Structure 1
Amino acid sequence: MAQTLKNLHLQQPRLKVTLPKIPSSFAWSIVGLYKLTGVNMGVNLKAIVGFVFLSFLLFAVVSSASNDGLVRIGLKKVKLDKNNRIAARLDSKETLRASIRKYNLCSNLGESEDTDIVALKNYLDSQYYGEIGVGSPPQKFTVIFDTGSSNLWVPSSKCYLSVACYFHSKYDSGKSSTYKKNGKSAEIRYGSGSISGFFSNDAIEVGGLVVKDQEFIEATKEPSITFLVAKFDGILGLGFKEISVGDAVPVWDNMIKHGLIKEPVFSFWLNRNAEDEEGGEIVFGGMDPKHYKGKHTFVPVTRKGYWQFNMGDVHIGDKPTGYCASGCAAIADSGTSLLAGPTDIKMSSFSCFVAPVWIQLSDMDSDFELHMTIITMINQAIGASGVVSQQCKAVVSQYGEAIMDLLLSEAQPKRICSQIGLCTFDGTRGISISIQSVVDEGNDKSSGVLGDAMCSACEMAVVWMRSQLKQNQTQDRILDYASQLCERMPNPMGESAVDCESVPSMPRVAFTIGGKEFELAPEEYILKVGQGSAAQCISGFTAMDIPPPRGPLWILGDIFMGRYHTVFDSGKLRVGFAEAA
C-alpha cells in the first residue's frame, strides 16, 4: 500500500465523482459476478465494460476521496437513547455503576499482573462506530474503535446459543479464501457475564488498508442483554499489546509493522454536535489539520497498556480542588462516552468544594486525611440531584448526634468514624452490623463496597459538621444542613441527573494536562437523552474504580475527546490534545 495517511471518516460521505483505486471488495464483486453469471467474455464484452464503468461511478459516489491523500470511510454516530440505558441497568447484577460498567479483561492463558486487566466502560453508552471488513472477500462489521482495549473481536457464525449473535453480523470462515485456523481459546470476562470464543487469523480491511493474517477473536458466546441491543457488532482495540487477551498483536501494531501507514500515529476527531450527521473522523498515519486549532499539548505515555499519562489538578469553576495536585494517572479512552474518576481519593491540606461551601482542609488537624469522592463533589458543584444516598442519610440520622458530641469533646476528626464503628482504626474501611442492615442490598458481594461508602459518608459528615461548628451554628442547624447535603448527594454507583434548564449556569470543569488547563463547558459535559419534554440531562461525570496494579485511573472518554482533538503517537509514546475545530 502507498505510504499515505489513511483514515476513517465518521459521516455520510460527500458525493465526489472520482476514480479511486479498486479496493479488494470491488475486485471480488467483479470476480463473483463473473462466476455467478458465467458470461462469455467475447460476447458480453460491452456489457462487462458498461458494468465496470457504472461500478466505478457507483464506488466514486459511496467513497469519499480528496486531494489531501486521506482515504475516508463513512462511519456512524448514534445518539444515546433510553432503551440502551435501561438495558445497561438490567444487565448490571452486581454493584456496578449504570454509566460505566467495571469488568475484568483477562487471558485464560495465564494469570499475571499484566494479563489481569480491568477495563471500565459500558459500551452501550458509546456513540461512535465504524465499519471494517474481515476476510476475502471482506465480510462487513460495525465496530467500536476503542483505545481502552487491544483485541479485535466479532461475532462468529459458530455462535449458536447466544441470542445476541442472531441480531448482528457474524463472521463465516468458510466464506473467506484468506482464513487460517488458529483455534486458541479466548475469554473476556465482564462483571455480569463473558464473551468467549476462539482465535482465528484472516485479512482485516480498515479504511482501505488490508492487514494480512491478523489474529482476532471469533466470539461464540455473548452476554444476552448488553450485546442484544448494542448497535455495533464488535470491538477493534487500539491499545497496547500489554493488555491484549491471549497476547495477540493488535491491528494497529500490525499496521505499523507492515508499513501500511505513513507515521505510527493515529488521531480522533469526534463531532459532538448532536444535530450534525457527521460523526467525526479517525485518521491512521497522522492527523488532519482541519480538525484542530492551534498546537497540541503532548504528554508522555507513563505506562504501556492503556494510553496512560499523568494528569494534574482538577478545577471546578475558578477553584482548584487539589485532588490531583501531586498528579493522577489518566487514560484517553475512545470506547467510553463519559468522564470517570476514582470514588476514593485521599486528600489533605487542600480546599474542596462541598456544596454550597468551600472547606479548607488545612484548617483541620495536620495529620487529618480524608477519603472523599471527587466525582460526587463535581456533581454537587454542577447541581446534580435526584439520587439520594442512603448511606449518607443513615449516618446523619443514626450517628449525627454522636459525631457532634465527639467533635464538641475535641476528639481527633480522623478517629471519629472509627470510634462509632464505621471505619477501622488503621484507616481501612469497615462496616457495623447495625448500619449494614439499613443499606443491605441483598448481595453479599456488595458488602465491601457498602462498607467503603458508609465510611466515606461518615468522613464527609465529619467535615461538614466541623465546618459548621466553626461558624457557631446550633446542633439542630448543623444536622439539618448535613441532611440537606445528603439529599443532594448523587449515587456514586450510578448516574446523576441535572435540570436541563440550569445547564447554562453550571460551572466549567477543567483538567490540567502538561501544565495546561483543558476546560469543559456545561453543554460539553452534560449528556442529553431523549427529545422535547421527555428529554433528560445526565451528568457526564461518573464514579468508577480500577484496582491496583493498573489503577486508580481517571478515564477521559468521548466527552473530553469531543472537545479536544486527540493524537496517539506510538513512535514517540505520547498523547496530544488540541482544541477541536
Structure 2
Amino acid sequence: MNLLPAVAVLVFTLASVACVTQVLRLPFSQGLRPRARTHRNVLRRPNALKIPVRSPGPLPDPPPTPTPKDVKLVNFNNKFYYGPITIGTPGQEFNVAFGTDTPSTWIPTVHSPPENLAHHHCRRYDNTSSSTYRANGQEFSLVHTLGLVNGYLSRDSVTIGDITAKNQIFGEAVLLPDGLQDDILTDGIIGLGKRDYTENDHLTVFDNMVSQGLLPDSVFSFYLNRFDTADPESVLTLGGTNPSYYTGKFTFADIVAPHRWQFRMDGVQVSELYGIFSPRPFQAVVDSGTSMIVGPMEITDHLNENLGGKPLPGWPKMYEFDCDVVGTLPDVEFVVNGETLSVSSKDYILKLQGEGQTHCYSAILGRNMHDEEAPVWILGTPFMRAYYTQFDAGNNRVGFAKAKHTKLELELFG
C-alpha cells in the first residue's frame, strides 16, 4: 500500500457583483455641475473591491513514518516457535511457524477433503468468507521437512501484528504430509526465506510489506528465548532490530547464494583442549525452522564423542549426555567472518522429560551430504537462542549479536 501525501485544496468562490450607477441630473441654472470622477480618485477609494478569503483550516496530519514492529512468538518445548496471523477480510486467525528456509507461505484450505489433511485440528482458510480474496488458481507443490505440501495459489490480505500486506499470494494447502502429527500446534507457515527468482515470480509476505512502504527497512530479526516460561517472550521484529534483546555489536556475513540465507563459515571448533574439528571453510545457512544444529556426520560424531556423548540406540545420529555433567561442557565455537561465536551447553544440549526423569541430548546432529549445492551446516534454533539474528535483505547479509538473556533464564539454565 503506497501512502500518498494528503493535499489540501482551497476553493475560492467569487460572487458576481453588479454595480448600478444612477446619474443625478441637476439643472445648470442652479450653477451646479457634476464633478467628473478621475481614474485617480477611483484608485484612491478605500475598500474599492474586497474578495473574501476563506481560511483553509488545519492540514491533515501526514501519514506516520513506519517503525519496526515486534511480533510475540510462542516457544514450544524449545523445538520450534510460532505466532499469530490473520488472513482475509474479516481476518481469519491462524498460528504459523516463521521459517527462513522457504519463501513460500501456505495455510490449509476448507476446500480440501478431510482425509487429505494430516492433522485435523488445524484451522483452515475459507476464501468465500473474505471480501479481499482474489483467485489465482496456479498449482503449487513444495517439499516440507516431513513430506510434500500440495495445493493452489490464492491472493488475499495477510496481517502480522498490526501490519497488513495487501494482495499477498500464498498457497491454499489441499494435501499435507502424513508426518505432521496432532501435537504440532501450527496451522501453516509464513516463508521468510529468500526468493528463488527462477521459480517464484511473486513477493514473499515480508518483501510485499517492504514494497508497500509498511516497514522502515528491509530487515527482520529474531530473539528466541530458552524456555516457554522465560521472560521476555520470543520476538520477531519486522523492519529492523530491537536493542532490548541483544548486547554488543553484530558480526555480519555476506550472503553467497541467490535463494538462501547462505554464507561462508570459517570453521567449527571447541577449544585447544578438545581440538579443532572443522578448520576449513564451509557453507552455512541460519534457519529459524530447524530445531537442531546440523553438520556433516563425520564432524558431528567426532565432536559429540569427544564431548562425552553416547550414541542413542536406534538413533545413530543422536547422542545422549549425562545431565549431571552438562554444565561443565565447553562451548562449541562457530567462526564467522573472523569472529568466534560461542554456543554454550545451555543451548546445544536439549533437556527433555521422559519416563519420570530428565534426559539430555545433543542438539548438534549429523547428516550425510548428498546435494553439493546445499549448505553443509544448518544453524537452527539452538544457535539462534544464543545469538540474536538479523536478516538484512537490503544489504544481502546476516548479522549475529549476543542474545540478552534474562535473570529468570539464567536461574533456569545456569
Instruction: Give the TM-score normalised by structure 2.
Output: 0.76
Q: Give the aligned partner of residue 378 of structure 2.
A: 555
Q: Distance in 2 between matches of 1:300 and 1:387?
A: 37
Alpha-carbon contact 1:545-1:551 (below 8 Å) kept: no
Q: Could you list the runs of 5+ residues in structure 1 that have no partner in the other structure? A: 4-67, 81-124, 344-372, 390-489
Tell me the distance in 1 between the aligned counterparts of 2:351 and 2:316.
19
Look up the equivalent residue of 1:75 and give its one-letter code.
Answer: L
1:287 aligns with one of 241, 251, 258: 241
Q: After the TM superposition, which residues 150-161 of structure 1 pair with which residues of structure 2 at under 5 Å, given as runs? A: 150-160=103-113, 161=115
Q: Which amino acid aligns with 2:95?
A: T
Matched, 1:502 2:360: no
- Contact residue 101 and residue 193 of structure 2 kept, 8 A: yes
Paired residues of 2:159 and 2:165 also in contact (CA < 8 A): yes
* Contact 2:146 2:180 (8 Å CA) reproduced: no
Among 138, 146, 167, the alignment partner of 1:213 is 167
CA distance in 2, matches of 1:132, 1:320: 45
Secondary structure of 2:316's aligned partner: coil
Aligned to 2:76: 78
Deviations 1:61-104 (A, max 9, x none): xxxxxxx9554444311115xxxxxxxxxxxxxxxxxxxxxxxx
Greater CA deviation, 283-292 or 158-167?
A: 158-167
* Alpha-carbon distance between aligned partners in 2 of 1:278 and 1:244, rounded to the nearest angstrom: 40
Report the aligned-residue RMSD. 2.5
Preserved contact between residue 200 and residue 217 of structure 1 (Cα < 8 Å) = yes
Residues 1:502 and 1:244: Cα distance change in structure 2 (over 3 Å): farther
- How far off is 1:504 after superposition? 1.4
Partner SS for 1:504:
helix
Q: Is the 8 A contact 1:133 1:139 kept in 2?
A: yes
The answer to whether 1:575 aligns with 2:413 is no
Q: CA deviation at 1:194?
A: 1.8
Measure how far apart 1:314 and its partner are. 1.1
- 1:156-175 alignment, distance < 5 Å: 156-160=109-113, 161-175=115-129
Q: 1 or 2, which has the higher strand percentage?
A: 2
Structure 1 residue 212 displacement after superposition:
0.8
Does structure 1 retain, via aligned residues, the 8 Å contact 2:254–2:396? yes
Residue in 1 that maps onto 2:220: 266
What is the CA–CA distance in structure 2 between the aligned matches of 1:179 and 1:244, rounded to whole Å?
Answer: 26
Q: Which residue of 1 aligns with 2:362?
A: 539
Note the residue ranges of structure 2 that are not aligned, 5 or more in a row: 4-65, 405-414
Are the structure 2 counterparts of residues 192 and 265 from structure 1 closer, same or farther at C-alpha, using a change threshold of 3 Å? closer
1:491-523 Cα deviation digits (max 9, x unpaired): 13xx22111112012222111011111111112
- CA deviation after TM superposition for structure 1 residue 273, in Å: 4.0
Q: Which of 1 and 2 has greater Rg?
A: 2
Assess, with a 3 A threshold, how the Cα gap between structure 1 residues 538 and 289 changes in structure 2: closer, same or farther: same
Write out aligned runs for 1:19-418 (5 A): 71-79=69-77, 125-126=79-80, 128-160=81-113, 161-190=115-144, 193-242=147-196, 246-273=200-227, 275-276=229-230, 278-318=232-272, 321-343=275-297, 373-387=298-312
Are the counterparts in 2 of residues 159 and 165 from structure 1 also a CA contact under 8 Å? no
The question of whether the paired residues in 2 share the 8 Å contact of 1:197 and 1:221 is answered with yes
Cα distance in 2, alignment partners of residues 532 and 388 from structure 1: 17
Deviations 1:12-49 (A, max 9, x none): xxxxxxxxxxxxxxxxxxxxxxxxxxxxxxxxxxxxxx
* TM value normalised by structure 1: 0.55
1:269 Cα offset (Å) = 0.8
Q: Deviations over 1:439-458 (max 9, x none)?
A: xxxxxxxxxxxxxxxxxxxx
Deviation at 1:279, TM superposition (A): 3.2
Aligned residues: 341
What is the letter of the counterpart of residue 90 of structure 2?
Answer: P
CA deviations over 1:130-150 (Å, ceiling 9, x no partner): 111111111111111111111
State the SS of the aligned residue for 1:199: strand
Cα distance in 1 for partners of 2:232, 2:2 equals 27
Q: Percent identity?
A: 32
3-state SS of 1:76 partner: strand
1:446-471: CA deviation from partner (whole Å, max 9, x where unpaired):
xxxxxxxxxxxxxxxxxxxxxxxxxx
C-alpha spacing 1:519/1:74, structure 2 compared with 1 (3 Å): closer
Q: Sort the Cα spacing of 1:190 and 1:531 in 2 relative to 1 into closer, same or farther, 3 A.
A: closer
Superposition pairs for residues 463-474 of structure 1, below 5 Å? Answer: none
- Change in 2 beyond 3 A, CA 1:335/1:135: same
2:123 maps to amino acid: S
C-alpha separation between the residues in 2 aligned to 1:288 and 1:297? 16
The amino acid that maps onto 2:357 is: A
Contact 2:153 2:171 in 1 (8 A): yes
CA 1:188 to 1:76, structure 2 compared with 1: closer, same or farther past 3 Å?
same
Name the SS for the 2:214 alignment partner: coil
Distance 1:190 1:335 in 2: 11
Matches within 5 A, 1:436-455: none
Cα distance, 1:323 vs structure 2: 5.0
